[in-house]
Amino acid sequence: MPRKKTAAARLNQPHSSIPRRPPELDIFVDRFLSTVCDTSRRYILELLAEPNEKDPSAPYERRSGEIAEELGLSSATTSEHLHQLADFHLVTARKQGTAVYYRLSNHMLVQAFLDLLRALDRQCLEEPS
């Protein structure tokens, strides 16, 4: 019995009318979605996207301990999430003494993602149960 082709295999066929990204862009998109698929990492991005009350033009920074406390996570878990976000260049760290401060680093990509989250929130709230 012949095997069915997977969706990915069908998309890679030359006659497919679906526009294709170069493979390196597909890998980038997959890595991004994998990074932000975790609820805690999404909340970290949303937390760091809040405006700086003291100076709205300055980047908003939070100590890793504050982030952990705000989200109710252990320091180790928060550190791992921040590390994954930093690996994807979504956040950057600054050390001051023994404290490590985190802030957003790819504002365009994070803002687009936050816009998507707001659209999903609206869609979910508008759909009948």
pLDDT tens digits for 92-112? 999 999 999 999 998 899 899
Q: Which domain holds residue 49?
A: 21-126
Per-residue pLDDT, 21 = 84
| Domains of the chain: total | 1
Residues 6 or more apart from 108 whose CB is under 8 A from it?
none
Cα-Cα end-to-end distance for the chain: 42
pLDDT at res. 9: 56
Q: Does residue 63 sit within a domain?
A: yes
74-97 exposure pattern, b = at least 16 Cβ within 10 A, e = fewer: eeeebbebbebbeebebbeeeeee
* Sequence-distant (≥ 6) Cβ neighbours of residue 88 within 8 angstroms: 31, 32, 35
Residue 25 lies in a domain: yes
Per-residue model confidence (pLDDT) at position 50: 83
Residue-wise pLDDT for 4-28, tens only, equals 655 555 555 666 678 788 999 999 9
| pLDDT on residue 18 | 80
Does a structural domain hold residue 5? Answer: no
Residue 93 lies in a domain: yes
Q: What does pTM read for this prediction? A: 0.77
Is the residue at 47 inside a domain?
yes
- Pairing type for strands 62-63 and 99-104 reads antiparallel
What is the C-alpha to C-alpha distance for residues 92 and 100, in angstroms, rounded to an integer?
10
Indicate whether 8 belongs to any domain: no
Q: Is residue 1 part of a domain?
A: no
**What CATH number is associated with residue 106?**
1.10.10.10
Q: 37 lies in a domain? A: yes
